[in-house]
Chains A and B, each alone.
Chain A
């Protein structure tokens, strides 16, 4: 069972982000509960990835506030936010293509626990062990000496997920973790996401297009449309919300 103690680890308050004349996010407020799995859905172009990018500091926001563990982070840079323990994966999947899987893992150790000079340290045996253990966890152990770039797209997604776990974040934001993965692997991935949440205690915030996946996974779901927050609630409430159905069918 997930421990939901009502404490919000990410608090987004009235965030607006525009690109020229295009309003990508308008007055969005939402909360991610510590220890829970929170979902975010919405049609293409509804501003989900923009919101993710704003949270991790990829671009500055126009107005509003973003708090992580009670501290304002909307002015921090990407590395600083990652080093607080708030990590994201990418929709288009990003791994280090000319390094093998083990190397990809070894360089993903939690840098927030390291000082400036720790970069000159040798690779520790426990890091290697953890890397192999996590590669086994996502099912890539047999492929561990292959170059990241030689893996299939689905395997790269799994590698990216394993790298994120290696980093020991307190919150992991996943941008469409199942996109491009074949249907038989999807069930395994849902299972692993839940285990990452329960066994490693990582709070998850997931963007997902696959309704079956998100309804299965998340305890609380936000729905965006046209850059605005349209609805929120439990999977049951969201599924039966007429506004959400209209947004997806194009009535909006």
Chain B
């Protein structure tokens, strides 16, 4: 049963851009939201630390990959200074080497950066942590916006994909899909180990967890680093999908994806494995419908959705399902083998 769900999911994911090629970029955007929601839920749902600043790693990863991808062929300062007046060429080899190195560097640097950042921020609790992380993302956007070397507010044009734009969309979609699936597998594995219970223990009573000898600061930082790794990679691929990056609306977009990932998790169900995935799919669909049919009112519709979820539907879709059908989730209430116990 479980494997059927996984196989169906992979099959649909592969088939989607082939059956509906016009929507490939939409499907890419959906994977981005799925990855951001899953990684957000590790802290927000499982560990009880509501971060509003995970989008920082999205922007940071995007800029890291841009710098790597451009620097492999040109001087980044000259490239951004020219702002498109000179024509900078990339060979196929330079483009693909740059893409692979850029994405890898984005993931690794984001994960490494999560450790010192976590050391500072994880001293904060509750709303202070949320605001503290949000502050990091906003400050990063403003700082990059004044930094000439990486194009400041002008941004950077990403090296163009050599070949047909439809192929580019498909390649980037596959990269998003693989990142998303690996991310899901890693998170599912982590939740099955002691680490998963440690996250829940920190959520339920952090002082107790410390008192029992759990190394809470190490666990919290590892959790954030895993999230940062995937968010960084995701940001790097997104930069290439968009083709042109700038600090406030694309990279450190706190009010767009930065909020969407939280809403998707709340909608799907906090602290469940599938909740963020389901929430991201439903939210993305809802958002595209409102953006298309209620243009001008889309922010109002989004605001109403947030209020409704927070007030009336806190458990989310998967949380609700888990309560209705606990046996689907392997949740046992009574001991299952009363006969066996009676016999012994």
Contact = CB atoms under 8 A, between A and B. Distances in A.
B211 A98 contact: no
Contacts of A103: 197, 200
B200 A94 contact: no
A148 B197 CA distance: 14
Contact of B193 (A97, A116, A120, A142): A120
Contacts of B205: 94-97
A191 B213 CA distance: 27
A118 B194 contact: yes
Interface string B311-336: 00000000000000000000111110
Contacts of B209: 96, 107
Interface in B208-237: 208-216, 218-219, 222
Residue of A56, A98, A121 ringed by the most chain B CB atoms within 10 A: A98
Given A119-B194, A120-B190, A122-B193, A96 B210 contact: no
B208 A111 contact: no
B287 interface: no
Contacts of B214: 79, 107, 111
A163 B212 contact: yes
Contacts of B210: 78-79, 82
B200 A116 contact: no
Contacts of B192: 122
Interface in B158-209: 190, 192-195, 197-198, 200-201, 203-205, 207-209
B193 A99 contact: no
A108 interface: yes
A112 B203 contact: no
Interface residues on A, range: 35 or more
Given A107-B198, A145-B332, A145-B335, A119 B193 contact: yes
Interface residues of B, number: 30
Majority SS at the chain B contact face: helix
Given A119-B194, A119-B219, A82 B211 contact: yes
Interface in A69-124: 78-79, 82-83, 87-88, 90, 94-99, 103, 106-112, 116, 118-123
Nearest to A96: B204
Contacts of B334: 145
A121 B193 contact: yes
A112 B150 CA distance: 47
A90 B207 CA distance: 11
Contacts of A119: 193-195, 198, 215, 218-219, 222
A48 B316 CA distance: 44
Interface string A13-24: 000000000000
Nearest to A107: B197
B194 A120 contact: yes
A146 interface: yes
B198 A110 contact: no
A167 interface: yes
Contacts of A82: 210-213
A90 B208 CA distance: 9
Contact of A96 (B195, B208, B216, B333): B208
A87 B334 CA distance: 31
A144 interface: yes
A56 B211 contact: yes
Contacts of A107: 194, 197-198, 200-201, 209, 212, 214
B200 A121 contact: no
B194 A123 contact: yes
Given A97-B204, A142-B335, A145-B334, A106 B213 contact: no
B323 to A, nearest CB: 12
Interface string A114-151: 00101111110000000000000000011011101000
Contacts of A120: 190, 193-195
B123 to A, nearest CB: 13
B26 to A, nearest CB: 36
Given A79-B214, A122-B193, A145-B335, 20 more contacts: A79-B213, A82-B211, A82-B213, A96-B200, A96-B208, A97-B204, A97-B205, A98-B200, A98-B204, A99-B204, A106-B194, A107-B197, A116-B218, A119-B198, A120-B190, A120-B194, A145-B331, A146-B333, A148-B204, A167-B213
Interface of B: 190, 192-195, 197-198, 200-201, 203-205, 207-216, 218-219, 222, 331-335
Interface of A: 56, 78-79, 82-83, 87-88, 90, 94-99, 103, 106-112, 116, 118-123, 141-142, 144-146, 148, 163, 167
